[in-house]
Protein backbone atom coordinates (compact mmCIF):
# COMPACT_ATOMS: atom_id res chain seq x y z
CA UNK A 1 0.00 0.00 0.00
CA UNK A 2 1.78 3.17 -1.10
CA UNK A 3 1.41 6.62 0.39
CA UNK A 4 0.35 8.17 -2.92
CA UNK A 5 -2.69 5.85 -3.07
CA UNK A 6 -3.66 6.71 0.51
CA UNK A 7 -3.34 10.41 -0.23
CA UNK A 8 -5.54 10.08 -3.29
CA UNK A 9 -8.22 8.29 -1.27
CA UNK A 10 -8.05 10.98 1.39
CA UNK A 11 -8.50 13.70 -1.23
CA UNK A 12 -11.51 11.86 -2.66
CA UNK A 13 -13.16 11.72 0.77
CA UNK A 14 -12.41 15.34 1.59
CA UNK A 15 -13.59 16.60 -1.81
CA UNK A 16 -16.84 14.63 -1.51
CA UNK A 17 -17.49 15.94 1.97
CA UNK A 18 -16.73 19.51 0.90
CA UNK A 19 -19.19 19.16 -1.96
CA UNK A 20 -21.80 17.83 0.44
CA UNK A 21 -21.34 20.69 2.90
CA UNK A 22 -21.56 23.25 0.10
CA UNK A 23 -24.75 21.64 -1.19
CA UNK A 24 -26.27 21.67 2.29
CA UNK A 25 -25.55 25.34 2.71
CA UNK A 26 -27.27 26.14 -0.58
CA UNK A 27 -30.10 23.70 0.10
CA UNK A 28 -29.56 22.21 -3.35
CA UNK A 29 -27.91 18.84 -3.80
CA UNK A 30 -25.33 17.69 -6.31
CA UNK A 31 -26.75 18.23 -9.82
CA UNK A 32 -25.47 16.18 -12.78
CA UNK A 33 -26.80 15.01 -16.13
CA UNK A 34 -25.73 11.42 -16.79
CA UNK A 35 -25.97 9.44 -13.58
CA UNK A 36 -26.12 9.70 -9.81
CA UNK A 37 -25.19 7.56 -6.82
CA UNK A 38 -26.07 8.52 -3.24
CA UNK A 39 -24.86 6.30 -0.40
CA UNK A 40 -23.69 6.39 3.21
CA UNK A 41 -19.96 6.52 2.41
CA UNK A 42 -18.10 8.71 -0.11
CA UNK A 43 -15.90 5.89 -1.36
CA UNK A 44 -18.89 3.60 -1.95
CA UNK A 45 -20.60 6.39 -3.89
CA UNK A 46 -17.44 6.84 -5.96
CA UNK A 47 -17.25 3.12 -6.71
CA UNK A 48 -20.83 3.22 -7.98
CA UNK A 49 -20.22 6.36 -10.04
CA UNK A 50 -17.09 4.80 -11.58
CA UNK A 51 -19.12 1.75 -12.60
CA UNK A 52 -21.73 3.97 -14.27
CA UNK A 53 -19.01 5.89 -16.12
CA UNK A 54 -17.45 2.60 -17.25
CA UNK A 55 -20.68 1.72 -19.05
CA UNK A 56 -22.44 -0.15 -16.28
CA UNK A 57 -26.12 0.30 -15.62
CA UNK A 58 -27.93 1.10 -12.36
CA UNK A 59 -28.06 -2.57 -11.30
CA UNK A 60 -24.31 -2.99 -11.89
CA UNK A 61 -23.63 0.09 -9.79
CA UNK A 62 -25.95 -1.18 -7.06
CA UNK A 63 -24.01 -4.45 -6.79
CA UNK A 64 -20.70 -2.59 -6.63
CA UNK A 65 -21.98 -0.13 -4.02
CA UNK A 66 -23.38 -2.91 -1.82
CA UNK A 67 -20.01 -4.69 -1.69
CA UNK A 68 -18.13 -1.40 -1.24
CA UNK A 69 -20.32 -0.52 1.76
CA UNK A 70 -19.52 -3.93 3.26
CA UNK A 71 -15.89 -2.75 3.34
CA UNK A 72 -16.13 0.97 4.03
CA UNK A 73 -19.23 1.08 6.24
CA UNK A 74 -19.15 -2.07 8.38
CA UNK A 75 -21.58 -0.66 10.95
CA UNK A 76 -24.39 -1.37 8.46
CA UNK A 77 -22.98 -2.23 5.05
CA UNK A 78 -22.69 -5.96 4.92
CA UNK A 79 -22.19 -9.44 3.57
CA UNK A 80 -23.80 -10.96 6.65
CA UNK A 81 -27.13 -9.13 6.52
CA UNK A 82 -29.97 -8.64 4.05
CA UNK A 83 -32.39 -6.16 2.57
CA UNK A 84 -34.76 -5.15 -0.20
CA UNK A 85 -34.45 -3.63 -3.66
CA UNK A 86 -37.02 -1.77 -5.73
CA UNK A 87 -36.24 -0.84 -9.32
CA UNK A 88 -37.78 1.00 -12.23
CA UNK A 89 -36.31 0.39 -15.68
CA UNK A 90 -36.16 3.18 -18.26
CA UNK A 91 -39.06 1.57 -20.14
CA UNK A 92 -41.28 1.89 -17.06
CA UNK A 93 -41.21 -1.75 -15.95
CA UNK A 94 -40.76 -2.24 -12.22
CA UNK A 95 -39.68 -4.99 -9.88
CA UNK A 96 -38.73 -5.78 -6.31
CA UNK A 97 -36.22 -8.19 -4.78
CA UNK A 98 -36.48 -9.63 -1.27
CA UNK A 99 -33.09 -10.68 0.09
CA UNK A 100 -34.19 -10.42 3.71
CA UNK A 101 -32.58 -12.79 6.21
CA UNK A 102 -34.38 -15.96 7.26
CA UNK A 103 -34.75 -17.83 10.54
CA UNK A 104 -32.53 -20.96 10.68
CA UNK A 105 -34.20 -24.37 10.56
CA UNK A 106 -33.39 -24.90 14.24
CA UNK A 107 -35.15 -21.67 15.23
CA UNK A 108 -38.44 -21.89 17.09
CA UNK A 109 -41.08 -19.60 18.55
CA UNK A 110 -39.83 -19.67 22.15
CA UNK A 111 -36.07 -19.70 21.52
CA UNK A 112 -35.50 -16.41 23.37
CA UNK A 113 -37.75 -17.20 26.37
CA UNK A 114 -36.81 -18.68 29.72
CA UNK A 115 -38.62 -21.49 31.54
CA UNK A 116 -41.20 -19.03 32.83
CA UNK A 117 -41.97 -17.78 29.33
CA UNK A 118 -40.21 -14.44 29.82
CA UNK A 119 -37.77 -12.91 27.33
CA UNK A 120 -34.08 -13.50 28.13
CA UNK A 121 -32.59 -10.02 27.97
CA UNK A 122 -30.29 -9.46 25.01
CA UNK A 123 -30.41 -13.00 23.62
CA UNK A 124 -32.06 -11.92 20.34
CA UNK A 125 -29.74 -8.91 20.03
CA UNK A 126 -26.20 -9.94 20.92
CA UNK A 127 -24.10 -12.95 20.09
CA UNK A 128 -24.32 -15.84 17.67
CA UNK A 129 -27.90 -16.91 18.41
CA UNK A 130 -29.23 -13.48 17.31
CA UNK A 131 -28.37 -14.07 13.65
CA UNK A 132 -30.63 -15.01 10.79
CA UNK A 133 -29.39 -16.61 7.57
CA UNK A 134 -27.91 -13.73 5.52
CA UNK A 135 -29.27 -12.75 2.13
CA UNK A 136 -27.14 -9.88 0.80
CA UNK A 137 -24.84 -11.92 -1.44
CA UNK A 138 -27.74 -13.89 -2.93
CA UNK A 139 -29.56 -10.63 -3.54
CA UNK A 140 -26.65 -9.08 -5.44
CA UNK A 141 -26.18 -12.20 -7.54
CA UNK A 142 -29.89 -12.21 -8.40
CA UNK A 143 -29.86 -8.52 -9.39
CA UNK A 144 -26.83 -9.02 -11.62
CA UNK A 145 -28.06 -12.20 -13.28
CA UNK A 146 -31.38 -10.60 -14.22
CA UNK A 147 -30.30 -7.06 -15.10
CA UNK A 148 -26.50 -6.72 -15.00
CA UNK A 149 -24.48 -5.53 -17.98
CA UNK A 150 -20.82 -5.60 -16.92
CA UNK A 151 -18.89 -8.71 -15.91
CA UNK A 152 -19.48 -9.75 -12.30
CA UNK A 153 -15.80 -9.67 -11.37
CA UNK A 154 -15.56 -6.00 -12.38
CA UNK A 155 -18.27 -5.16 -9.88
CA UNK A 156 -16.69 -6.97 -6.92
CA UNK A 157 -13.02 -6.11 -7.57
CA UNK A 158 -13.17 -2.48 -6.31
CA UNK A 159 -14.29 -3.75 -2.89
CA UNK A 160 -11.48 -6.31 -2.80
CA UNK A 161 -9.00 -3.53 -3.50
CA UNK A 162 -10.48 -1.31 -0.79
CA UNK A 163 -10.39 -4.14 1.76
CA UNK A 164 -6.84 -5.28 0.96
CA UNK A 165 -5.15 -1.93 0.30
CA UNK A 166 -7.12 -0.11 2.94
CA UNK A 167 -8.51 3.41 3.02
CA UNK A 168 -8.37 6.33 5.48
CA UNK A 169 -11.15 5.85 7.98
CA UNK A 170 -13.60 8.70 8.42
CA UNK A 171 -14.41 10.41 11.72
CA UNK A 172 -17.75 8.63 11.88
CA UNK A 173 -16.20 5.26 11.07
CA UNK A 174 -13.55 5.65 13.76
CA UNK A 175 -16.11 6.71 16.36
CA UNK A 176 -18.41 3.80 15.60
CA UNK A 177 -15.65 1.23 16.03
CA UNK A 178 -14.40 2.82 19.25
CA UNK A 179 -17.86 2.85 20.82
CA UNK A 180 -18.31 -0.85 20.10
CA UNK A 181 -14.92 -2.13 21.31
CA UNK A 182 -16.24 -3.50 24.60
CA UNK A 183 -18.96 -5.48 22.82
CA UNK A 184 -16.52 -6.80 20.23
CA UNK A 185 -14.22 -8.10 22.98
CA UNK A 186 -17.04 -9.63 25.00
CA UNK A 187 -19.01 -11.36 22.24
CA UNK A 188 -16.38 -12.74 19.88
CA UNK A 189 -14.53 -16.05 20.04
CA UNK A 190 -11.20 -14.56 18.90
CA UNK A 191 -9.30 -11.27 18.99
CA UNK A 192 -10.63 -9.07 16.20
CA UNK A 193 -8.01 -7.14 14.21
CA UNK A 194 -10.12 -4.01 14.60
CA UNK A 195 -9.82 -4.42 18.38
CA UNK A 196 -6.10 -5.19 18.54
CA UNK A 197 -5.47 -2.00 16.56
CA UNK A 198 -6.49 -0.01 19.64
CA UNK A 199 -8.23 3.38 19.54
CA UNK A 200 -9.16 4.43 16.01
CA UNK A 201 -8.52 7.98 14.81
CA UNK A 202 -9.81 9.69 11.67
CA UNK A 203 -7.36 9.08 8.84
CA UNK A 204 -6.05 5.75 10.13
CA UNK A 205 -5.54 3.19 7.36
CA UNK A 206 -8.34 0.62 7.62
CA UNK A 207 -7.28 -2.71 6.05
CA UNK A 208 -9.30 -5.96 6.11
CA UNK A 209 -7.35 -8.86 4.59
CA UNK A 210 -9.75 -11.60 5.72
CA UNK A 211 -12.67 -9.72 4.19
CA UNK A 212 -10.70 -9.28 0.96
CA UNK A 213 -10.25 -13.06 0.72
CA UNK A 214 -13.98 -13.63 1.29
CA UNK A 215 -14.80 -11.10 -1.43
CA UNK A 216 -12.41 -12.88 -3.78
CA UNK A 217 -14.32 -16.11 -3.27
CA UNK A 218 -17.57 -14.26 -4.04
CA UNK A 219 -15.95 -12.71 -7.12
CA UNK A 220 -14.82 -16.09 -8.40
CA UNK A 221 -17.79 -18.27 -7.41
CA UNK A 222 -20.75 -15.93 -6.77
CA UNK A 223 -23.21 -17.64 -4.37
CA UNK A 224 -21.02 -20.73 -4.05
CA UNK A 225 -18.24 -18.47 -2.80
CA UNK A 226 -20.35 -17.44 0.18
CA UNK A 227 -23.03 -20.07 0.84
CA UNK A 228 -20.64 -22.94 0.10
CA UNK A 229 -16.96 -23.78 0.14
CA UNK A 230 -14.46 -22.12 2.47
CA UNK A 231 -16.70 -19.23 3.54
CA UNK A 232 -19.53 -21.58 4.53
CA UNK A 233 -17.06 -23.73 6.48
CA UNK A 234 -15.79 -20.68 8.38
CA UNK A 235 -19.37 -19.52 8.96
CA UNK A 236 -20.59 -22.80 10.42
CA UNK A 237 -17.46 -23.24 12.56
CA UNK A 238 -18.10 -19.75 13.99
CA UNK A 239 -21.67 -20.76 14.79
CA UNK A 240 -20.49 -23.87 16.62
CA UNK A 241 -17.91 -21.96 18.67
CA UNK A 242 -20.44 -19.34 19.75
CA UNK A 243 -23.58 -21.40 20.27
CA UNK A 244 -25.38 -20.30 17.11
CA UNK A 245 -27.67 -22.56 15.09
CA UNK A 246 -27.13 -21.63 11.42
CA UNK A 247 -26.09 -24.77 9.52
CA UNK A 248 -24.66 -25.72 6.13
CA UNK A 249 -28.17 -26.58 4.99
CA UNK A 250 -29.46 -23.14 6.03
CA UNK A 251 -26.77 -21.51 3.91
CA UNK A 252 -27.18 -23.77 0.90
CA UNK A 253 -30.95 -23.40 0.86
CA UNK A 254 -31.07 -19.60 1.03
CA UNK A 255 -32.50 -17.86 -2.06
CA UNK A 256 -33.46 -14.26 -2.72
CA UNK A 257 -37.08 -13.92 -3.86
CA UNK A 258 -38.50 -11.70 -6.60
CA UNK A 259 -41.74 -10.04 -5.50
CA UNK A 260 -44.23 -7.71 -7.12
CA UNK A 261 -43.77 -4.17 -5.80
CA UNK A 262 -46.71 -2.29 -4.32
CA UNK A 263 -47.88 1.00 -5.76
CA UNK A 264 -50.31 3.84 -5.15
CA UNK A 265 -51.06 7.26 -6.61
CA UNK A 266 -50.38 10.39 -4.57
CA UNK A 267 -51.31 13.77 -6.03
CA UNK A 268 -50.48 12.62 -9.57
CA UNK A 269 -47.33 10.73 -8.62
CA UNK A 270 -47.11 6.97 -8.86
CA UNK A 271 -45.37 5.64 -5.74
CA UNK A 272 -43.60 2.28 -6.22
CA UNK A 273 -42.48 0.59 -3.04
CA UNK A 274 -41.65 -2.70 -1.29
CA UNK A 275 -44.09 -5.50 -0.52
CA UNK A 276 -44.04 -7.73 2.60
CA UNK A 277 -42.13 -9.05 4.43
CA UNK A 278 -41.21 -5.39 4.47
CA UNK A 279 -43.92 -3.50 6.31
CA UNK A 280 -42.61 -0.30 4.75
CA UNK A 281 -44.58 -0.34 1.52
CA UNK A 282 -47.95 -1.13 3.06
CA UNK A 283 -47.43 1.46 5.79
CA UNK A 284 -46.20 4.14 3.36
CA UNK A 285 -49.27 3.65 1.17
CA UNK A 286 -51.54 3.92 4.21
CA UNK A 287 -49.77 7.11 5.31
CA UNK A 288 -49.97 8.76 1.89
CA UNK A 289 -53.57 7.79 1.25
CA UNK A 290 -54.48 8.78 4.80
CA UNK A 291 -53.16 12.31 4.37
CA UNK A 292 -54.09 12.93 0.73
CA UNK A 293 -57.54 14.34 1.52
CA UNK A 294 -55.95 17.14 3.59
CA UNK A 295 -54.54 20.37 2.17
CA UNK A 296 -50.96 19.68 3.25
CA UNK A 297 -49.49 22.36 1.00
CA UNK A 298 -51.54 24.94 2.90
CA UNK A 299 -49.99 23.90 6.22
CA UNK A 300 -46.70 25.04 7.69
CA UNK A 301 -44.14 22.23 7.09
CA UNK A 302 -43.33 22.10 10.81
CA UNK A 303 -46.53 23.62 12.14
CA UNK A 304 -48.68 22.18 14.93
CA UNK A 305 -51.59 21.33 12.64
CA UNK A 306 -49.46 19.24 10.28
CA UNK A 307 -47.45 17.52 13.02
CA UNK A 308 -50.65 16.60 14.87
CA UNK A 309 -52.17 15.21 11.67
CA UNK A 310 -49.09 13.15 10.82
CA UNK A 311 -48.85 11.76 14.34
CA UNK A 312 -52.52 10.73 14.35
CA UNK A 313 -52.25 8.97 11.00
CA UNK A 314 -48.95 7.33 11.92
CA UNK A 315 -50.21 5.86 15.20
CA UNK A 316 -53.08 4.15 13.38
CA UNK A 317 -50.81 2.78 10.66
CA UNK A 318 -48.34 1.35 13.17
CA UNK A 319 -51.17 -0.32 15.09
CA UNK A 320 -52.09 -2.15 11.88
CA UNK A 321 -48.43 -3.03 11.31
CA UNK A 322 -48.21 -4.73 14.69
CA UNK A 323 -51.21 -6.93 14.09
CA UNK A 324 -51.36 -7.80 10.43
CA UNK A 325 -47.89 -7.81 8.82
CA UNK A 326 -45.39 -10.64 8.48
CA UNK A 327 -43.77 -12.96 5.92
CA UNK A 328 -46.38 -13.62 3.18
CA UNK A 329 -44.89 -17.08 2.60
CA UNK A 330 -46.02 -18.05 6.12
CA UNK A 331 -48.96 -15.78 6.90
CA UNK A 332 -51.87 -14.45 4.87
CA UNK A 333 -50.94 -10.76 4.95
CA UNK A 334 -54.10 -8.81 3.96
CA UNK A 335 -52.26 -6.34 1.72
CA UNK A 336 -55.25 -5.60 -0.51
CA UNK A 337 -57.46 -4.66 2.43
CA UNK A 338 -54.79 -2.69 4.28
CA UNK A 339 -54.10 -0.54 1.20
CA UNK A 340 -57.75 -0.16 0.16
CA UNK A 341 -58.91 3.47 0.03
CA UNK A 342 -62.17 2.77 1.85
CA UNK A 343 -60.41 0.84 4.62
CA UNK A 344 -57.85 3.60 5.11
CA UNK A 345 -60.58 6.26 5.16
CA UNK A 346 -62.40 4.24 7.83
CA UNK A 347 -59.21 3.99 9.92
CA UNK A 348 -58.69 7.77 9.76
CA UNK A 349 -62.28 8.96 10.21
CA UNK A 350 -62.03 9.35 14.00
CA UNK A 351 -59.04 11.72 13.86
CA UNK A 352 -59.86 14.84 15.86
CA UNK A 353 -58.07 17.97 14.73
CA UNK A 354 -58.20 19.41 18.23
CA UNK A 355 -57.30 16.40 20.41
CA UNK A 356 -54.59 13.77 20.45
CA UNK A 357 -55.92 10.21 20.48
CA UNK A 358 -54.50 8.04 23.23
CA UNK A 359 -52.73 5.04 21.76
CA UNK A 360 -54.52 2.93 24.37
CA UNK A 361 -57.76 3.84 22.53
CA UNK A 362 -56.44 2.51 19.22
CA UNK A 363 -56.38 -1.09 18.07
CA UNK A 364 -55.54 -2.62 14.73
CA UNK A 365 -58.33 -2.38 12.18
CA UNK A 366 -60.70 -5.30 11.62
CA UNK A 367 -59.54 -7.31 8.62
CA UNK A 368 -61.65 -9.67 6.54
CA UNK A 369 -59.33 -12.70 5.99
CA UNK A 370 -58.83 -13.52 2.30
CA UNK A 371 -39.99 -3.94 11.64
CA UNK A 372 -31.41 -0.28 14.23
CA UNK A 373 -31.32 2.23 13.47
CA UNK A 374 -28.07 1.18 11.75
CA UNK A 375 -29.47 0.19 8.41
CA UNK A 376 -28.12 1.82 5.25
CA UNK A 377 -29.73 2.93 2.00
CA UNK A 378 -28.49 3.92 -1.43
CA UNK A 379 -30.20 5.38 -4.48
CA UNK A 380 -28.93 5.12 -8.07
CA UNK A 381 -30.00 6.45 -11.46
CA UNK A 382 -28.01 5.74 -14.65
CA UNK A 383 -27.73 7.72 -17.90
CA UNK A 384 -30.62 5.81 -19.47
CA UNK A 385 -33.00 6.53 -16.59
CA UNK A 386 -32.89 3.10 -14.92
CA UNK A 387 -33.36 3.57 -11.18
CA UNK A 388 -32.57 1.32 -8.22
CA UNK A 389 -33.49 1.92 -4.57
CA UNK A 390 -31.89 -0.46 -2.05
CA UNK A 391 -32.08 -0.61 1.74
CA UNK A 392 -29.88 -3.16 3.49
CA UNK A 393 -29.00 -3.87 7.10
CA UNK A 394 -27.38 -5.84 9.88
CA UNK A 395 -30.14 -4.46 12.17
CA UNK A 396 -28.18 -2.93 15.09
CA UNK A 397 -24.82 -1.27 14.56
CA UNK A 398 -22.40 -4.07 13.55
CA UNK A 399 -25.35 -6.46 13.92
CA UNK A 400 -24.82 -9.06 16.62
CA UNK A 401 -21.26 -7.66 17.09
CA UNK A 402 -19.96 -11.10 16.04
CA UNK A 403 -17.39 -11.40 13.25
CA UNK A 404 -16.81 -14.67 11.40
CA UNK A 405 -13.21 -15.68 12.14
CA UNK A 406 -10.91 -15.54 9.08
CA UNK A 407 -13.83 -14.32 6.94
CA UNK A 408 -13.86 -10.71 8.12
CA UNK A 409 -17.57 -9.88 8.08
CA UNK A 410 -20.10 -9.23 10.84
CA UNK A 411 -23.23 -11.29 11.43
CA UNK A 412 -26.66 -9.69 11.67
CA UNK A 413 -28.97 -9.67 14.70
CA UNK A 414 -32.16 -9.70 12.66
CA UNK A 415 -33.83 -12.35 14.81
CA UNK A 416 -34.84 -9.45 17.07
CA UNK A 417 -37.11 -8.23 14.28
CA UNK A 418 -39.39 -11.19 14.89
CA UNK A 419 -41.99 -10.96 17.63
CA UNK A 420 -39.94 -12.85 20.20
CA UNK A 421 -43.05 -12.73 22.36
CA UNK A 422 -46.38 -11.31 21.10
CA UNK A 423 -47.09 -7.88 22.55
CA UNK A 424 -43.51 -7.30 23.80
CA UNK A 425 -41.60 -4.55 21.94
CA UNK A 426 -38.28 -5.12 20.16
CA UNK A 427 -35.23 -2.86 20.40
CA UNK A 428 -37.03 -0.15 18.37
CA UNK A 429 -40.14 -0.27 20.54
CA UNK A 430 -42.13 -2.00 17.81
CA UNK A 431 -44.79 -4.41 18.98
CA UNK A 432 -45.72 -7.49 16.98
CA UNK A 433 -48.10 -10.41 17.05
CA UNK A 434 -48.58 -13.92 15.73
CA UNK A 435 -48.11 -12.81 12.11
CA UNK A 436 -44.45 -12.12 12.86
CA UNK A 437 -43.68 -14.91 15.32
CA UNK A 438 -40.53 -17.01 14.81
CA UNK A 439 -40.84 -20.00 12.48
CA UNK A 440 -38.04 -21.98 10.79
CA UNK A 441 -37.23 -20.60 7.34
CA UNK A 442 -39.38 -17.52 7.84
CA UNK A 443 -38.32 -13.98 6.94
CA UNK A 444 -38.69 -11.48 9.77
CA UNK A 445 -40.79 -8.33 9.34
CA UNK A 446 -38.89 -5.19 8.37
CA UNK A 447 -39.47 -1.45 8.24
CA UNK A 448 -37.21 -0.95 5.21
CA UNK A 449 -38.94 1.20 2.58
CA UNK A 450 -36.97 1.54 -0.67
CA UNK A 451 -39.22 3.66 -2.91
CA UNK A 452 -39.36 5.16 -6.40
CA UNK A 453 -41.77 7.82 -7.68
CA UNK A 454 -42.78 8.59 -11.23
CA UNK A 455 -44.84 11.44 -12.69
CA UNK A 456 -46.66 11.42 -16.03
CA UNK A 457 -44.96 8.13 -16.85
CA UNK A 458 -41.44 9.43 -16.21
CA UNK A 459 -39.00 8.79 -13.38
CA UNK A 460 -39.38 11.46 -10.67
CA UNK A 461 -37.63 10.42 -7.43
CA UNK A 462 -35.61 7.64 -5.79
CA UNK A 463 -35.69 7.62 -1.99
CA UNK A 464 -35.02 5.56 1.12
CA UNK A 465 -33.32 5.67 4.50
CA UNK A 466 -32.05 3.70 7.47
CA UNK A 467 -33.57 4.31 10.90
CA UNK A 468 -35.30 1.21 12.26
CA UNK A 469 -38.94 1.97 13.01
CA UNK A 470 -38.49 5.58 11.80
CA UNK A 471 -37.67 4.51 8.22
CA UNK A 472 -41.29 4.55 7.07
CA UNK A 473 -42.12 7.98 8.48
CA UNK A 474 -38.84 9.49 7.22
CA UNK A 475 -39.61 8.39 3.65
CA UNK A 476 -43.19 9.65 4.10
CA UNK A 477 -42.06 13.10 5.23
CA UNK A 478 -39.44 13.39 2.49
CA UNK A 479 -42.11 12.74 -0.15
CA UNK A 480 -44.44 15.34 1.44
CA UNK A 481 -41.59 17.86 1.52
CA UNK A 482 -41.09 17.60 -2.23
CA UNK A 483 -44.62 16.96 -3.49
CA UNK A 484 -46.64 19.16 -1.12
CA UNK A 485 -44.13 21.81 -0.03
CA UNK A 486 -42.11 22.16 -3.24
CA UNK A 487 -38.73 21.67 -1.60
CA UNK A 488 -35.55 20.79 -3.47
CA UNK A 489 -34.27 17.27 -2.86
CA UNK A 490 -31.55 18.50 -0.52
CA UNK A 491 -33.93 20.74 1.42
CA UNK A 492 -36.40 17.86 1.75
CA UNK A 493 -33.65 15.57 3.05
CA UNK A 494 -32.29 18.16 5.47
CA UNK A 495 -35.67 19.18 6.87
CA UNK A 496 -36.21 18.19 10.56
CA UNK A 497 -38.26 15.03 11.14
CA UNK A 498 -40.87 13.77 13.58
CA UNK A 499 -42.12 10.25 14.23
CA UNK A 500 -44.99 8.43 15.91
CA UNK A 501 -45.31 4.63 15.98
CA UNK A 502 -48.42 4.02 18.14
CA UNK A 503 -46.41 2.57 21.03
CA UNK A 504 -44.78 4.12 22.97
CA UNK A 505 -47.39 6.88 22.95
CA UNK A 506 -45.31 9.94 22.12
CA UNK A 507 -44.16 12.09 19.23
CA UNK A 508 -40.43 11.64 18.70
CA UNK A 509 -38.79 14.77 17.28
CA UNK A 510 -35.30 15.79 16.29
CA UNK A 511 -33.76 18.49 18.45
CA UNK A 512 -34.79 21.93 17.17
CA UNK A 513 -37.36 20.36 14.82
CA UNK A 514 -40.24 22.31 16.38
CA UNK A 515 -40.28 25.73 17.93
CA UNK A 516 -41.53 26.18 21.49
CA UNK A 517 -44.91 27.56 20.42
CA UNK A 518 -45.61 24.51 18.27
CA UNK A 519 -44.55 22.14 21.04
CA UNK A 520 -46.82 23.94 23.47
CA UNK A 521 -49.80 23.67 21.14
CA UNK A 522 -49.21 19.95 20.66
CA UNK A 523 -48.89 19.29 24.39
CA UNK A 524 -52.00 21.36 25.09
CA UNK A 525 -54.08 18.97 22.96
CA UNK A 526 -52.65 15.87 24.63
CA UNK A 527 -49.42 14.92 22.84
CA UNK A 528 -46.28 13.82 24.66
CA UNK A 529 -43.00 14.85 23.03
CA UNK A 530 -39.53 13.27 23.26
CA UNK A 531 -36.38 14.50 21.55
CA UNK A 532 -33.47 12.69 19.94
CA UNK A 533 -30.42 13.92 18.06
CA UNK A 534 -31.44 12.69 14.62
CA UNK A 535 -34.00 10.57 12.78
CA UNK A 536 -33.01 8.68 9.64
CA UNK A 537 -30.36 9.35 7.00
CA UNK A 538 -32.24 9.79 3.75
CA UNK A 539 -30.32 9.33 0.48
CA UNK A 540 -32.40 10.45 -2.47
CA UNK A 541 -32.38 11.57 -6.09
CA UNK A 542 -34.84 13.98 -7.74
CA UNK A 543 -35.27 14.29 -11.50
CA UNK A 544 -35.44 18.00 -12.31
CA UNK A 545 -37.59 19.58 -15.01
CA UNK A 546 -34.70 19.68 -17.50
CA UNK A 547 -33.96 15.99 -16.95
CA UNK A 548 -30.88 16.52 -14.79
CA UNK A 549 -30.51 14.70 -11.48
CA UNK A 550 -30.31 16.26 -8.02
CA UNK A 551 -28.63 13.89 -5.58
CA UNK A 552 -29.01 14.57 -1.86
CA UNK A 553 -26.89 12.88 0.80
CA UNK A 554 -28.15 13.30 4.35
CA UNK A 555 -25.96 15.67 6.44
CA UNK A 556 -26.90 13.66 9.54
CA UNK A 557 -24.19 11.22 8.43
CA UNK A 558 -21.27 11.13 6.00
CA UNK A 559 -23.68 10.36 3.16
CA UNK A 560 -22.49 11.54 -0.22
CA UNK A 561 -23.94 12.12 -3.68
CA UNK A 562 -21.63 11.67 -6.68
CA UNK A 563 -22.77 12.03 -10.27
CA UNK A 564 -21.31 12.84 -13.65
- Catalytic residue IDs: 375
Q: State whether residue 74 is helix, strand or coil.
A: coil
Q: What is the DSSP letter of 421?
A: S
Name the residue among 540, 451, 449 with its Cα closest to residue 489. Answer: 540
**Residue 229 zone, left/alpha/beta (φ > 0; ψ -120 to 50; rest):** left
Say how far apart CA 412 and CA 418 lie, in whole Å. Answer: 13
Q: Would you say how long the chain is, in residues? A: 564
* Secondary structure E strands in 226-338: 257-259, 262-266, 269-273
For the chain, give me the number of helices (H) and strands (E)? Answer: 18, 19
Rg (CA), the chain: 22
- Cα-flanking dihedrals φ and ψ of residue 261, to 5°? -70, 160
Q: Which long-range contacts (CB under 8 A, 24 or more apart) does 365-369 make?
A: 365/316, 365/319, 365/320, 365/338, 367/324, 367/334, 367/337, 367/338, 368/334, 368/337, 369/332, 369/334
**Which whole-number Å values give the CA distances from 173 to 44, 125, 287, in the listed order?**
13, 22, 34
Taking the chain, what is the end-to-end CA distance rounded to the nearest angstrom?
28
| Residue 525 DSSP SS3 | coil
Rounded distance, CA 289 to CA 310, Å?
12
Residue 383 has a CB neighbour count (10 Å cut-off) of 18
Alpha-carbon distance 48 to 62, whole Å? 7
DSSP sequence for 137-183: HHHHHHHHHHH--S-HHHHHHHHHHHHHH-EEPPHHHHHHHHHTHHH
Beta bridge partners, 532, equal: 510
Nearest CA among 530, 553, 557, 498 for reference residue 46? 553
Residues 364/322, Cβ–Cβ less than 8 Å: yes
- Residues 6+ away with beta carbon under 8 Å from 169: 177, 200, 202, 203, 204, 205, 206
Alpha carbon 161 to its chain's center: 25
Amino acid sequence: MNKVYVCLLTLIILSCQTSRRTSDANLVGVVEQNGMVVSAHPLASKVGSDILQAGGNAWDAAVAVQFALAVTYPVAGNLGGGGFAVYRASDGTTGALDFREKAPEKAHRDMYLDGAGEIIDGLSLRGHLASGVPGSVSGMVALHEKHGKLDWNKLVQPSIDLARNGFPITEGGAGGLNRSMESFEKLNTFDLPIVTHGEWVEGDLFQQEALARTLERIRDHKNDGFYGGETARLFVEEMKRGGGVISYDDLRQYEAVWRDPLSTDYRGYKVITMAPPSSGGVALIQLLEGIESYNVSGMQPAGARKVHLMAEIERRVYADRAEHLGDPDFYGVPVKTLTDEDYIAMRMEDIDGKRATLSSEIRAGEIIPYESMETTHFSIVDKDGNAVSITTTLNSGYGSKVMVKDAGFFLNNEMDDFSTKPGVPNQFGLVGGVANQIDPGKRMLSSMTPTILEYDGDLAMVVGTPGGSTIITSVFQTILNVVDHGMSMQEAVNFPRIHHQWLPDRILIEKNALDEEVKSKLMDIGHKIDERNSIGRVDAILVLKDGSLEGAGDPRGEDTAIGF
